[in-house]
Structure 1
Amino acid sequence: MRTVTEKLRLSEISPRIMQSEIRSMTVECDRIGGVNLAQGVCDTEVPSPVVENAIKAIHDGHNIYTRMDGLTPLREAIARKMAHYNGIHVDPDSEVLVTSGATAGLYAACLALFDPGDEVILFEPFYGYHLNTLLSLRVQPRAVPLAMHTWEIDFDALSAAITPRTRAIIVNSPSNPCGKVFSRAEFEKIAALSEEHDLFILTDEIYEYFLFDGTEHISPASLPGMAERTITISGLSKTFSITGWRIGYLTADKRWLGSIAYFHDLAYVCAPSPFQYGSAAGLIELPDSFYKQLATDYQAKRDMLCAALQDCGFTPSIPQGAYYVLANVSAVPGATAREKARNLLAQTGVAAVAGTAFFSEERGEDLLRFCFAKRDEDLQRACDALRSYRGK
């Protein structure tokens, strides 16, 4: 029997979508039993109400599908939180969607809003999943580089990147990987451009509570006239240290939310039901002091890691938010950032991610990204290992 090999092939886009360097370094780290500062797994303690109510939901039989947009108590809790913290007022019955992680929220929104060949702007350094989500949907990403290490926006470059095919701007604040927190003034300029050119703003705010040195979190949808054109994506994975539970959420004007919810249902059906109950309990029961303490604790982790990086001869860019540090590691042997990451892992047992995973056009070759969302004892072990590197 003849095999028709010209039809048995991968899609045209498949060779461009590969396992992320983050996951590759995690595999390498696990293989040698090192300390994983590569992946933002956030393996700190889960708040008691979140755990207890998820377990209770399982025992109470809440193990079946939820409605398409998520459990009512969780949607209502999200709406209250958005009003209280973000300054965004949404209807829990028509403008809130519980998603299978923030990543699923972005994917469903892109399916609902963009067509193949549309262009979407994102700032560089970018989170690889944002870039690859666009590529997988045949949407053309256009990267606008931030100034290295200060991470300031070149608004002339941003304006020049907008073409007749541009449909949206993606913003991640606080940012993975550089920890930039976009200011109100920056968002006001981005908002003005979005109104001038009639663009959507897709904003990933998953790290919204990880803020340092008194930095303020601004949600673009809270600015005048921006609620209708802004898709706000966030989740509880980082805030409650439940990255494996896949509880995200998205808020948007009801004109867009119905279609976004349909595409989410098509790909994911729903986020796990008992984990939705646990997450709702966390939003309802945990006081404001929990979130303030979260920022305090993570600022201490940031300072611990940055001090160790400086002590071993690296130069960290001190982040304003999130829980990652980009550091210059030009002293580490290796012709590329990938080689430097693997050499550092081999010599110290500490895994980091090549900076090139977050840049285009061969930028970031002297940079590695380190994650400090670790238990203190594990982070201290990594810091001790990094300090020992200087003497080698």
Structure 2
Amino acid sequence: MGSTETSVGLRLSELAPRLVQSEIRAMTMECDRMGGVNLAQGVCDTEVPEVVAEGAIRAIRDGLNIYTRLDGIARLRKAIAGKAERTLGITVDPEREVLVTSGATGAFQAAAMALLNPGDEVLVFEPFYGYHVGTLNSLRVRAVPVALIEPDWDLDLAAVKAAITPKTRAMVINTPSNPAGKVFTLSELEGLAKIAEEFDLFVFTDEIYEHFIYEGAKHVSPMTIPGMRERTILMSGFSKTFSVTGWRVGYLVADAKWVGSIGYFHDLTYVCAPAPMQQGCADGVEKLGTDFYEGLAREHEVKRTMIVDALRDARMDPHVPDGAYYVLASAKNLEGATAAEKARSLLAKTGVASVAGSAFFRPGKGENLLRFCFAKRDRDLAEACRRLRALR
């Protein structure tokens, strides 16, 4: 009898035995067990803006605790549409083109369920966010990695076209990206747009880190590229911007012809995003202006400098990100044959948790890289940096 069977013939699905716990979750649990400093998970434990927290508390006290409409509360949808017009220059109908979701993760799952079929192929840019690939795998959709070129993670458009087959239905663009912090340039996105139009592909764009941009880099949404409005599914949320990763409030913007079906699958899986948290996020979008978002970028640019300098002192040669709040760094000087072993070696020596680079690559790649999250309270980040420097 196999480990996936029981005495009465019950068994896991064909997919389940091939799945393992996320390396991010595994390192977080190990870090918690030993009381270390967790730079593994992108928990973003900086302070929640007061207006956001108070908005959610007020909503709870006012009794706004029941199901919302499946597409979210009206004021949040209107606020999202207004934000899209202010920051991206696109007109969005809050009644037909906005869906409030259970995080950007829920947005992607619902969109993939609505728009893709088992056996379809979707291009992902490597290093990729593991949850994108895991979500596609769970739906029996094949994720096809297209490698970005080190050391600056440049895009090779010829490689993109070479990866396309008759089964290719979409591509996933994460900009700024997790884990590399790559910000796709306008010219890169225009090249991808031409490919999407030539091969009639959907473009799923995860823009959750849109406000974490450094040193003159500019965030461009693929949806703003001419000809891309109809085929782009824009996904974002408030987990990172408002430091509320546990609230699970995200959103999706897409052409009305897709939103109805996407909303059906989101309702089926999640019913709705948490009602009072939607109210708090609406307060944040309505009341926090440009100064808040610019301050957020400046604050995290300082944190980026802290971790990059510490990693250099530890002889771990970091890739300096243009956006998001992660750093990929060399682990070649650490003990271990694999990135997972190197991450555990670093945790044992310093009490600092990172994530194996292999979690963001196809098998056999990323084994000399570790990912560090720097969206931490200053005192915790400073302590992590002090511990890393002890490797010298």
TM class, shorter-chain normalised?
over 0.9
Q: 1:207 aligns with which of 184, 206, 209?
A: 209
Aligned counterparts, 1:1-392, within 5 A: 5=7, 7-390=9-392
- What whole-Å deviation, never above 9, does each CA across 1:278-330 have from its counterpart, x for those lacking one? 00000000111000000000000001000000001110000000000000011
Distance (Å, rounded) in 1 between the aligned partners of 2:279 and 2:6: 50
Report the alpha carbon displacement of residue 16 of structure 1 after superposing the two structures with TM.
2.4
**Aligned with 1:134: secondary structure?**
helix
Distance (Å, rounded) in 1 between the aligned partners of 2:132 and 2:9: 30
**Aligned with 1:389: secondary structure?**
coil
Report the alpha carbon displacement of residue 5 of structure 1 after superposing the two structures with TM.
4.8
Distance (Å, rounded) in 1 between the aligned partners of 2:55 and 2:157: 46
Report the alpha carbon displacement of residue 87 of structure 1 after superposing the two structures with TM.
2.2
Count the aligned residue pairs. Answer: 388
Distance (Å, rounded) in 2 between the aligned partners of 1:215 and 1:40: 21
Report the alpha carbon displacement of residue 6 of structure 1 after superposing the two structures with TM.
7.2
**Aligned with 2:390: secondary structure?**
helix
Instruction: Name the amino acid aligned to 1:215.
Output: A
Report the alpha carbon displacement of residue 7 of structure 1 after superposing the two structures with TM.
4.2
TM-score normalized by structure 2? Answer: 0.98
- What whole-Å deviation, never above 9, does each CA across 1:45-82 have from its counterpart, x for those lacking one? 00011000100000000000000100000000000001
- What whole-Å deviation, never above 9, does each CA across 1:18-49 have from its counterpart, x for those lacking one? 21000000000000110000000000000011
Q: Is the 8 A contact 1:211 1:217 kept in 2?
A: yes
Gaps of 5+ in 2: none
**Aligned with 1:296: secondary structure?**
helix
- What whole-Å deviation, never above 9, does each CA across 1:117-157 have from its counterpart, x for those lacking one? 01100000000000010000000111000112210111111
Report the alpha carbon displacement of residue 88 of structure 1 after superposing the two structures with TM.
2.3
Distance (Å, rounded) in 2 between the aligned partners of 1:344 and 1:223: 43
Q: Is the 8 A contact 1:358 1:364 kept in 2?
A: yes
Distance (Å, rounded) in 1 between the aligned partners of 2:260 and 2:115: 11
Instruction: Name the amino acid aligned to 1:8.
Output: L
Q: Is the 8 A contact 1:50 1:279 kept in 2?
A: yes
Q: Is the 8 A contact 1:17 1:136 kept in 2?
A: no
Distance (Å, rounded) in 2 between the aligned partners of 1:186 and 1:154: 9
**Aligned with 1:314: secondary structure?**
coil
Distance (Å, rounded) in 2 between the aligned partners of 1:286 and 1:68: 26
**Aligned with 2:169: secondary structure?**
strand
Distance (Å, rounded) in 1 between the aligned partners of 2:298 and 2:240: 15
Distance (Å, rounded) in 1 between the aligned partners of 2:111 and 2:20: 22
Report the alpha carbon displacement of residue 377 of structure 1 after superposing the two structures with TM.
0.5
Q: CA RMSD in A?
A: 1.0
Distance (Å, rounded) in 2 between the aligned partners of 1:177 and 1:343: 21
Distance (Å, rounded) in 2 between the aligned partners of 1:374 and 1:53: 24
- What whole-Å deviation, never above 9, does each CA across 1:189-234 have from its counterpart, x for those lacking one? 0000000000000000000000000110000111111110000000
Q: Is the 8 A contact 1:86 1:222 kept in 2?
A: yes
| Structure 1 runs, 4 residues or longer, greater than 3 Å off | 3-7
Instruction: Name the amino acid aligned to 2:109.
Output: Y
Instruction: Name the amino acid aligned to 2:127.
Output: P
- What whole-Å deviation, never above 9, does each CA across 1:94-138 have from its counterpart, x for those lacking one? 000000000000000000000100110000000000001000000
Distance (Å, rounded) in 2 between the aligned partners of 1:350 and 1:161: 38
Distance (Å, rounded) in 2 between the aligned partners of 1:7 and 1:202: 40
Gaps of 5+ in 1: none
Distance (Å, rounded) in 2 between the aligned partners of 1:363 and 1:153: 18
